[in-house]
Chains A and B, each alone.
Chain A
Amino acid sequence: GDSVTQMEGPVTLSEEAFLTINCTYTATGYPSLFWYVQYPGEGLQLLLKATKADDKGSNKGFEATYRKETTSFHLEKGSVQVSDSAVYFCALLNTGNQFYFGTGTSLTVIP
């Protein structure tokens, strides 16, 4: 069945460090791919998305490229800030309109 595998955390980085959170997926057909972020005490929020192969989603300095050949959608940011501390979820929406989520990766950025 469809599934998402993402890098386990927690991840701790110093401010201005480079961030990569790996995400790979398994799906039939051509899913849409997402990164959601959850700040403490809040609901999941859409961070970025890509709906077809080679699309790059970007928002708030974060980027992820839909790589069909490697079935990946890795999240990157060149310089993280303390305010980026949160839990990040990779997800796919399959052709049956069902969401599948990764387990989430907790990021802590220290000053």
Chain B
Amino acid sequence: GAVVSQHPSWVICKSGTSVKIECRSLDFQATTMFWYRQFPKQSLMLMATSNEGSKATYEQGVEKDKFLINHASLTLSTLTVTSAHPEDSSFYICSAPNAGGTDTQYFGPGTRLTVL
């Protein structure tokens, strides 16, 4: 079946640095990818929709300048957490829909970000 990978799986950084997280669809093309954030014992929260060839669409309350999204190709979307702070520590997950439509998503394994 379709596979989505994320890199890195775990990153620890100092406060004030920027961190880039990659999301790749390994055996299919995805014009759209989704980025989620999950706090411990809480739901996955949709952050933004990444669109190949155009600007990302952000959910209400998500800072565009804080979470930069670039959908560089049909198989790669990146999320950059700029000037990270401890409150940005979280689990970030990406997903991509299959060719049949949005209702079936393939999820990456997630990236755990810890900001010291």
Contacts and interface: CB of A to CB of B under 8 A. Distances in A.
Contacts of A77: none
A100 B102 contact: no
Which secondary structure characterizes the binding site on chain A?
Answer: strand
Contacts of A89: 44
A101 B102 contact: no
A8 B41 CA distance: 9
B103 A36 contact: no
A43 interface: yes
A82 interface: no
Which secondary structure characterizes the binding site on chain B?
Answer: strand
Contacts of A44: 93, 95, 105, 107
Interface string B1-16: 0001010000000000
Interface stretch (A14-22, A59-67, A91-99): A91-99
Nearest to A38: B107
Contact of A43 (B34, B102, B103, B107): B107
Interface residues of A, number: 24
Contacts of A43: 4, 6, 93, 95, 106-110
A100 B43 CA distance: 8
Given A49-B104, A93-B102, A100-B43, 20 more contacts: A8-B41, A34-B103, A38-B107, A41-B109, A43-B6, A43-B93, A43-B106, A43-B109, A43-B110, A46-B105, A51-B103, A89-B44, A99-B34, A99-B44, A99-B46, A101-B36, A101-B43, A101-B44, A103-B41, A103-B42
Interface of A: 4, 8, 32, 34, 36, 38, 41-46, 49, 51, 89, 93, 97-104
